[in-house]
Amino acid sequence: MRSRWFAACTLGVESALEAELSGVGAMSVRTVPGGAIFDGDTSVGYAANLWLRSAIRVQENLIDTQVSSPDDYYAAIEAHPWEDLITPRHTLSIDASVADSFTTHSGFAGLKAKDAIVDRVRSRTGDRPSVDRTDPDVPIKVVLKHNRLGVSRNLSGLSLHKRGWRPIQVKSPLNEATAAGILRLGEWDPTTSLLDPMCGSGTFVIEAALRAARRAPGLTRSFAFMRWPDFDEQLWTDLCDDARGRALQTLGIPLLGADRHAGAVSLARLAAEAAGVADLVRFEQADIADFRPPAAPAAVFVNPPYGERLGEGEDLERSWVQLGRFLKNHCGGAQVHILCGDKALSQHLRLRAARRIPVRNGPVDCRVLRYEILAPRQARSDAPPA
C-alpha cells in the first residue's frame, strides 16, 4: 500500500537526504526545511529506516486535513482506523506542536489527540491503550499549523543517529546523522581516502567507513515499527538479508583519524570496534602540529573545537592556526570540509573558502567551509615568477 512519508534531518543537510532517498526507492521526493517528504510502499518506509544515514527520523503520514475547531480536530483524528494500528496492549505517546491555529496550546492539542485515539480504540475493542512518554510502542506526531492538521506515526522510535555503536556518550561528539550528511554535502567519493586530523570520537571516519563498506546503518539497532500490530516481519527480514549481502568486508582506501587526546583516540577505536569497522579505519594519537599522514588524503573532513564547549582562548586559536598549516603542508590536492561554529576562528586558517554551507550542529548555527588545497606541483606552477 502506497503511503506518504517524511524523513527528518538536521537543518542544512536536506539535499544530502534527498540524494540518499533516491537509493531507497522513494518517489516524488520533495525537500522542506529539516527534512524531505516522499511517497512509496511499506518497503520504502522500512528501507528508509534501514539505509538512510543523514535522517534522524522516518514517519508515516496518516492524516492530512483542514480543521477549524476543537470538535473538528477531535473528529478528524477519531475517524482514523486506529484499532488497526494500536491494540489495548500497546502504548502510545503524542508529541504535538501548534502554530497560528484555533488553539495555541500544544498541551491541549496533545491531550485531545490522545483522547480521540484512545476513545476510538476503546469503542472498537472494548479496552484502551495507555500512554508511555519514555518508551512508547507507537510514537505519534501531531502538527497543527494554520489549522492544517497532520498526524503521523514515527517508525524509528529512538533517533536514527543512534546507530548503536557509540560505546559511551562523549562530551562533544558530532551527531552521526549530521556527520553522514556533511560527507555527502562535501561530495566525498567513498572509493577515495579520507582523513580527520581532529577526530575526537571518530564520527566522520566511522561514518565514512560504514558508507564505503555499504553497511546499512540500521542493521545494528531496533525500531519502533517492529512492535506494531501491522509489522511485516518477512519484508523486514528480506530487506536485512539483502543489506547483509551488499556489505563489503575490505576496503582498498585509508580512512584515518588523529587526535591529541589519548582518551578521544581510545573512544574512537572502541566505537569503530562496536560499529564493526575496526579493520577498515585507523586512529592515531597526535597533535596536529606533529602529525604526518602517510600520504596526502583525497578528502579531509574535520570538526575543530570552537566556542565554549571544548577549547579555550589562545590554545583554541593555536589549534586553528596549526590546522591551516597542516592542510597547506600535508594535504596538497585534497578537498577539505571544515565544520565551523565561529567565523572568527576560521580566519586563523589563512585559507580562502570556496563554499560556505549553513548546517546546524546541535544548538549552534555552523558553516561547512570548503577549501580546495592545491596539489604541490599545481601550487608551484601557479606561483608568480621570481
Q: Given the rule CB under 6 A, which residues bind ligand SAM? A: 172-174, 198-201, 203, 259-261, 264, 287-288, 303-305, 310, 319, 322
Q: Compute the distance between CA of residue 325 and CA of residue 149 in angstroms, rounded to an integer.
A: 54
Tell me 158's DSSP state: S
C-beta closer to ligand SAM: residue 240 or 310:
310
In this structure, which amino acid lies at residue 14? E
In this structure, which amino acid lies at residue 271? A
Nearest to 1 by CA among 89, 51, 62: 62
Closest distance to ligand SAM from the beta carbon of 270 (Å): 12
Name the residue with the smallest CB distance to ligand SAM.
Answer: 200
The grid coordinates listed for 158 are 529512538
C-beta closer to ligand SAM: residue 3 or 172:
172
C-beta closer to ligand SAM: residue 84 or 315:
315
Residues recorded for the chain = 386
C-beta closer to ligand SAM: residue 132 or 284:
284
Beta sheet of 364-372, edge-to-edge order: 282-285, 255-259, 194-196, 299-302, 335-340, 364-372, 355-361
Measured in whole angstroms, the distance separating CA 373 from the mean position of its chain's CA atoms is 28
Closest distance to ligand SAM from the beta carbon of 180 (Å): 12
C-beta closer to ligand SAM: residue 218 or 304:
304
C-beta closer to ligand SAM: residue 15 or 266:
266
Q: Compute the distance between CA of residue 166 and CA of residue 374 in angstroms, rounded to an integer.
A: 35
Closest distance to ligand SAM from the beta carbon of 17 (Å): 20
Q: Compute the distance between CA of residue 126 and CA of residue 31 in angstroms, rounded to an integer.
A: 42
